[in-house]
A and B are shown apart, each in its own frame.
Chain A
Amino acid sequence: MLDIESLTPREALGRALADLGDLRQDVVVLVADTGETTRAKFFAERHPERFFNVGIAEQALVGIAAGLAIAGFMPYALTFAAFMTRAWEQARNSVDRLALPVRLVGTHAGFADAYDGPSHQALEDIALFRVLPNFTVIAPADSCEVYKAVTASAALKGPVYIRVGRDFHIPTTCGLYDRFEVGRAYTVADGGDVAIFTTGAVLPFAVEAAQLLRDRGVSAAVVHFPTVKPLDYSAVEKYAASTGAVLTVEEHMVYGGFGSAVAEYLSQTRPTKMAIMGLKSYGRTAKSPQELYQYFGLTPENIAARAEELVKLR
């Protein structure tokens, strides 16, 4: 995976699709004037006859992908995550209700597109796709995981939403596991005082937070959940039981997202002291995603502080 590690998340996405196109003749890729920005062009260069641009038209993008699925293809439809949500009702009525094998890939998710500001920063997409009964929802942490998750998604029968960034990532999962299993959580660090659960690109911040906590005498587990739905309930259960304190971190609104999914489960099975870290407002224009993580407090220091508070108040 060294080769993939050097790619950006969106490049890993384009590469995964191009490679998948070699393996499977039924894979088609659609974009909404986003072939360049999503790096779907890597697929287009290798498989031009199976690549379609529908123009700046997200509703048609999703609906036409559904039609291609009915015709027996496995469509991957790519655009900015912020604009994929414009076609949410199409995702519901044309894809999810029919349980079609359509793969929607939202790129530039979270703070990945710092330059373009809040209109381009999707912080609601996990919630919106998670609520649809048949959708699988995957939020990889880095380019290695993007590559593996996209590849793994081809084996799924129903609809899938994959949340991808742009260029920023800190490679964390490249040596963590070999095969990506949809629906499985991966333990990055073990610990007994508090469990930090993450999804998406914030994983390395949690890893660093665990190191900071260790220096303060707090033993923190870090468990990464690239698949938000179906959630790895056994991992949630195991770490809730062993630590009694769960902190979730996501680059997404704290409403309806990954933290909510964990809370929905634990509140009904094993009520556990919890904190949900994420966003409560729209983003801002900035020079880099890192500036936004700082500004909105998604940093190793803040994660460590919240975890410590959780342990103290437990």
Chain B
Amino acid sequence: MERRASELEPLICKARKYVVLMAGYDPGIHLGSSLSVMEIVAALYGTGRVKFNMANGVHNRNYFVLSKGHAIHAVYALAAAMGYLTLDELRETGSLGSRLQNHPEVDTPFVDVANSGSLGQGISLAVGLALGLKIRGEKGRVYLVVGDGELDEGQSWESFAVAAHYGLTNLITIVDFNGVQLDGHSEEVLRKGDLAGRFKSLGYEVFEVDGHDVGQIISALEKAENAGRPAVIIAKTVRGRGVAEIEDTAKQRLSRDDALRYAGNIC
């Protein structure tokens, strides 16, 4: 179902609340990263580009690869906000026996690729998937969400070069550019240089947007889909967006008390 940006805002807020709630049950989730990517995920699922019941009798469908797999809780939370998961199941995330594992695995619902716990590998898979759809003449697109820290991996650029070389216009890449990785601010850990320039030099059409403005992301998606060449949307975001105490930090964990308190203050 297609939703306008204004209709998505309340769902996004609810999903943020659920991510923080999950952090109260499982200290193992990557909170800051799930919060930064939320509008990006909402722009994809909220507009019907990708679906929570994606394989439900659909041919020529679109695919979703969350290469920064540790942010999978954004997907779980949005699924709950949109009615595809119960809060009971969210509370079980990360527990043995739950299908809501802390990286996309083979039994994880809602995403197409289960290898993205290891950074850079979702990018290659998305490229292979897009190549396969192209040579079979299918109309479906592959939406690939990557982190900026993940771009340190050599495999990322190996794969982006292949996508550009084979002219994969059915691959839409979105960078969740939150500027923070495991050891701290990305520029301090390893300088990323002119990210847009790196993609442009390979032949990509590059769009730069405010990654917390879902309307901007949707309009960039529309342009990227009609760019006529491989496209990248660099979405500037804030790690931990929505929880002031951890915004723009490498902090991923909260005590249960803090998590419940913060969740209570959202929406």
Contacts and interface: CB of A to CB of B under 8 A. Distances in A.
Interface stretch (A15-23, A54-62, A252-260): A54-62
A96 B42 CA distance: 31
Contact of B158 (A54, A68, A93, A97): A54
A198 interface: no
Interface stretch (A70-78, A114-122, A187-195): A70-78
A247 interface: no
A54 B118 CA distance: 21
A5 B166 CA distance: 37
Interface in A35-65: 49-50, 52, 54-55, 57, 59-60, 62-65
B132 interface: yes
A94 B106 contact: no
Contacts of B126: 67
A141 interface: no
Contacts of B127: 60, 63-64, 67
Nearest to B130: A67
A227 interface: no
Given A93-B115, A93-B117, A66 B155 contact: no
Nearest to B163: A64
A307 B71 CA distance: 58
Interface string B172-201: 000000000000000000000000000000
A49 B125 contact: no
Contact of A71 (B106, B114, B117, B128): B128
A66 B125 contact: yes
A90 interface: yes
A49 B135 contact: yes
B202 interface: no
A59 B158 contact: yes
A181 interface: no
Interface in B135-176: 135-136, 154-155, 158-159, 161-162, 165-166
A59 B106 contact: no
Contact of A93 (B121, B135, B166): B121
A305 interface: no
B129 A60 contact: no
B32 interface: no
B112 interface: yes
The range of chain B's interface size is 20 to 34
Contact of A66 (B117, B128, B162, B166): B128
A63 B113 contact: no
Given A52-B131, A59-B120, A70 B158 contact: no
Nearest to B165: A55
Interface residues of A, number: 28
Contacts of A71: 128-129, 131-133, 136
Contact of A90 (B113, B124, B130, B162): B124
Nearest to B114: A98
B162 to A, nearest CB: 5
B228 to A, nearest CB: 21
B144 to A, nearest CB: 10
Contacts of B132: 28, 67-68, 70-73
Nearest to A50: B135
Contacts of B130: 67
A303 to B, nearest CB: 42
A63 B129 contact: no
Contacts of A93: 115, 117-118, 121
A62 B124 contact: yes
B74 interface: no
B133 A63 contact: no
A309 interface: no
Contact of A59 (B112, B124, B135, B161): B124
Interface in A253-285: none
Contact of A89 (B106, B113, B118, B123): B118
Interface of A: 28, 49-50, 52, 54-55, 57, 59-60, 62-73, 75, 89-90, 93-94, 97-98
Interface of B: 106, 112-115, 117-118, 120-121, 123-133, 135-136, 154-155, 158-159, 161-162, 165-166
27 contacts: A28-B132, A55-B165, A57-B158, A57-B159, A57-B161, A60-B127, A60-B158, A60-B159, A60-B162, A63-B124, A63-B127, A64-B124, A64-B125, A67-B125, A67-B132, A68-B131, A68-B132, A71-B129, A73-B132, A90-B121, A90-B155, A93-B117, A93-B118, A94-B115, A94-B124, A94-B125, A98-B106
Closest 3 CB pairs of A and B: A67-B128, A63-B124, A71-B132
